[in-house]
Structure 1
Amino acid sequence: MKSINKFLLLFAFDHDEKLDVETQAFLLLSNVLNFFLFVIVFVEGIISLLEEKLFFAGTLLSLSVLFAFNYLYISRRPNIALYNRLLFLFIILTFVFFIIFGGSTGVNIVWVGSFPFIAINLFGRKAGSLYSLGMFVFILIDFLLLSKIIPLAQHYTLNMSVLISIYVLFSFILAYTLKFVFAQVLFSKERAMINSQNNRTSRDEQIADLSRQIRTPLSNITGILDILGKTNLSDDQRDYINTIHASANNLVNVVSNMVSTTKSNELRIQEEKISFNLFSTLNNTIRLFSENNSKQKFSLSFSAEVPSNMTGNAIKTKQIFLNILNSIAKYNLSENKEITIEVSRTNNMPGTLELLFKITATGNIPFPKEYRSDESLYGTDILLLNTSKHIQFLELGLTQKLIEQDGHLLSIKPEADKTTFEFGITFKESTQSYSVKNIKEKVSNSTSFYKPSVDIKDANILLVEDNFSNQQIIILYIKNLVNKIEVAYNGKEALDKFGKTKYDLILMDVQMPIMDGLKATKKIREIEKSTNTHIPIIAITANAFPEDKERCIASGMDDYISKPFQTEELVSKLKAHLK
């Protein structure tokens, strides 16, 4: 087996390493086919030459030259599609010659039995089957007509014609069956892998949600304890307060350890960035669904500015599409579905590709009535609130998390006759990658903002927080230290206040209704570009995962503080960013 593996590696060229795994496997198969067909045709040509059958020798040796040229020159070129088209053309010419003339031995038609295996493996079950059936029809035409009118053509008896026809038909059925079984096994393994990842992630999502729910009241408890500790207390009262404070801190450590343990045990998708062909990746994903359901039609289109190759996480991209298409197949009740996938570019920054994916599925997904809203009354804000319910109904929680890793959002817009899914993914045009920290440092070093230094006692603060208790605790923390505090209950309200009043710093919660803190921050940064100003924004959130901090920084926030926190920690950050 090791010898065979080493032999096969001889057909892998240097440029194969730059291709994705599926293209590498496909190219290896083409190279092996090209080589062995060259050997077969060349040996047949030499035998014919030795037997002085000049017609057969000339034709077969000419075909061997074509195979050699295709293998030695065309296969090294970057145009892989041209290489495979020429290879298949030469294969057809060779088999047509064997069918009509029988080759030097007169029985080379038996090689045609391999044609269905070649065609189906090169072009898939659908196209490969059409080519195979076309070759079978040509064989029948040769038996009935061509063998009788073409000079030097091989004549077949009736028995031989019937046996060859059965042999070729059996080869086609066998090739189709093997490809079908292989596709089913591969599809089942891929589904099992995704389900396994989804199951493992569900526990993490539950613990993360539990951690957030515990941290919020803990923050209030420790805040009140800090404030009580600064009042006039008896020795016994102060001892009680210290005991409660110590217990609260222990509970904070338990929650933090629980989150850390969950993250260390979590099965994460590899973040390895590789160069891959996005169209090929999406097309192969679509094929998993289209080959098993003829009533499900797909349309894939790329805008002109989207390059064919890019650097990014191909595995994560494929999993996102598999999850969404699987949900459409599972919940869309329409028998005939048309699914349109549109890919466009949303930025013009060199080196970075911000791509917008729009998946539109015709038909009806029966969302519960309570998930629907009257657009004429509520507009898009209520629809944003319902998106999380749509995601939960379609079991796309993991998919949402994968998309949010790049700082993007998953949007689901249900209508009477169709449902639209929109989301973004970030790729790179080059193989060089930057961390969030490097990007932030690069921006801060290259861009000069006007931000005057402000003393904390003169500072006007905007607190963006939807929880009333949290508002009161933070106000108690800093009301005696700053000049003024104003409160906004969500990101949309914060944007309205930001447009009307000048603030020196914003304390921003992340998870809020109507508009979350990440989106509000991005919009504030967009507004500031026209004024060349920069207001410090500090995230205050109960989310404790490292990627939560990365998302905050990537959205444009300047700092991050996780609940529960000490008064000194918050005051220290305020002073640092007001200078």
Structure 2
Amino acid sequence: MNVEHEHVLTDVTKVKEIFVNILSNAIKYTPSGGSVMISVDELPCDEPGYMIVRNRVSDTGIGMSQDYMTKIFDAFTREQNTTKSKIAGTGLGMSIVRKYVDLLGGTIDVESELGKGSTITVTLKHKIADESYYVKKHIEESGTGSEILEGRNILLAEDNDLNAEITEAILERAGIKTERVEDGIQCVNMIEKMPAGTYDMILMDIQMPKMNGYKATQAIRRLSDKDKACIPIIAMTANAFEEDKRDALAVGMNGHIAKPIELDKLLSMLAEVIRQQENC
């Protein structure tokens, strides 16, 4: 990383979505023993108060053909060697990346060679933030209540391996123990099987196979054991729309957090829900 201005004002959701897609592809298409390198460089900017960042993601993966690279940003297109090897994917990731890069006024460049890997370079211009704003924000957020989370046990219902790994890493840093299930049915079964009080809370993804997060929550709320039925449940969705929050609350969830997950927001919400539960 080679950045002079660490604090910027930007569309956090879109920027995170860009790099979640690029990095997940790099990891997915790089075989075991390969590597993924990320470099971040600040470039000169002629416009006062702004900075330009060049983000480069290079991998040693399977690479792409020159023919496919002309269609990489088209929706629902995938390289032939990825479908033959049965690597899962929808072909939407790079289409979304291109859309968001364009919306942010940036550029994206792709270099690749079959069997040798790929390099994707994204350049974005950001407004430099007033440093005093971040000093104030840090002071305000320093009391997120992380001490109340130490030693807690959370059941994580998440079908996506990468999302689960990220969430577990965030929770582990806060001293929280996690156990993961991969769909709503497994989540309900785990709550029914384990004694009440085993888990302090459930982090529930909404879009899951077999049984989604809404239906799983409704099933848990109908359990005959009231201690189990009242366990706090936080929804995790790919959207931060008001209707998603309303839907979560309507089925009996205690809160809602959007992906990609932000550390401070997640820990603050968990702490607040636990305080509310202890005060009941």
Normalised by the size of structure 2, how large is the TM-score? 0.46
Q: Between Structure 1 and Structure 2, which shows a larger proportion of strand residues?
A: 2
When Rg is computed on C-alpha atoms for both structures, the one with the higher figure is 1
Ranked by relative contact order (alpha carbons within 8 Å, sequence separation 6 or more), the top structure is: 2
Normalised by the size of structure 1, how large is the TM-score? 0.23
